[in-house]
Amino acid sequence: MYRSGAVVRVLRAAQAARMPMALARPAPMAIRAFSSTFLEKGMVTERIMVVIKNFDKVDAGKVTEKATFKEDLGLDSLDAVEVVMAIEEEFAIEIPDAEADAIKSVEDAITFISSHPMAK
């Protein structure tokens, strides 16, 4: 009784040894491919300028590519956070806190978004 079980195990091991490796290992089920489709800087600039000009605490006439949030646009730190959140929403991304704190001007926002591969 015990011997027949041992013979079956030996036969199965021999069959497994003869199987090609492609059959022994399953193939990957799905392959994810990401493309780096960065947005054009001109398009990013235009969209960011519209977002900032539409912010209720900003004088639209003062918005330029070189404008800083605090000095030129007169935004306090909470207003600047709201602007960055509006930019996140516009481009459907989430900016980590460390990078969001570094965005102090329109130019900083344009540079960050135009170099972010997930911005839409």
Q: Which positions are catalytic? A: 76
Tokens in use for 77?
């730190």
Rounded to an integer, what distance in angstroms lies between the CA atom of residue 51 and that of residue 62? 13
The answer to whether 66 touches 106, Cβ cutoff 8 Å, is yes
The answer to whether 4 touches 83, Cβ cutoff 8 Å, is no
